[in-house]
């Protein structure tokens, strides 16, 4: 389940603009509250790139800096994000209604 949530949060993050792995990991931990292990994000990024939901490019921003692989959402990735958001909202609404059933 965490993997599915990580994928949705990752697609949503990349919808704001290109990001690199470490930046993505720290944002998902800090902003999305996902308890992701250090190496969790890269196999997921690799799969999304293979599925053409993201495209990646290596950048060397400053001289002497570490090269970073930046990921950006493709059109296919945006369509997947819309679909996954709709699924998440539907599941969330159903679960919410179920959990609140005794309070009404």
Partner 1 sequence: MSEDERELESWLRRMRWALASLSDIERDDIVAETRAHLSERIAQGTPTRAALDAFGSAEAYALHFVDERELSGAAGSQRPAAMLGAIVRRAHRSVVAAIAFFIVIGLGTVAFAAVLTAIVKILDPIHAGLWLGKTQFFLGVIANPGVSRELLGNWIYPFAALGVAISWLAGRAVLVWAVTRLARTG
Which residue ranges make up the site for partner 1 (CB under 8 A)? 1, 3-4, 7, 21-22, 37-40, 42-44, 46-47, 50-51, 58, 66-69
24 near 10, Cβ under 8 Å?
yes
Contacts of 3 (CB under 8 A, 6+ apart): 40, 44
Cβ-based nearer residue to partner 1, 73 or 80: 80
CA–CA distance, 83 with 64 (Å, rounded to integer): 41
**What is the CA angle 41-32-48, rounded to 5?**
35
| Least distance in angstroms from the C-beta of 97 to partner 1 | 23
In the complex with partner 1, which residue's Cβ is closer, 17 or 67? 67
Contact 10, 2 (CB under 8 A): no
**Considering the complex, what minimum distance in angstroms separates the CB of residue 42 from partner 1?**
6
> Would you say 45 or 100 has its CB closer to partner 1?
45
SS3 7: helix
Question: Minimum Å distance from CB 103 to partner 1?
Answer: 30
CB nearer partner 1, residue 17 or residue 39: 39
Query: Min. distance of Cβ 98 from partner 1 in angstroms?
Result: 20
């Amino acid at each position: 389940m965490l993997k599915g949530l990580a994928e949705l949060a990752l697609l949503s993050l990349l919808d704001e603009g290109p990001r690199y792995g470490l930046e993505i990991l720290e944002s998902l931990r800090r902003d999305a509250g996902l308890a992701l292990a250090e190496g969790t994000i890269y196999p997921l990024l690799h799969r999304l790139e293979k599925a053409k939901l993201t495209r990646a490019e290596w950048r060397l921003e400053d001289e002497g800096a570490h090269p970073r692989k930046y990921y950006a959402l493709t059109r296919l990735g945006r369509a997947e994000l819309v679909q996954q958001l709709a699924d998440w909202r539907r599941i969330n609404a159903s679960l919410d209604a179920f959990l609140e059933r005794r309070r009404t």
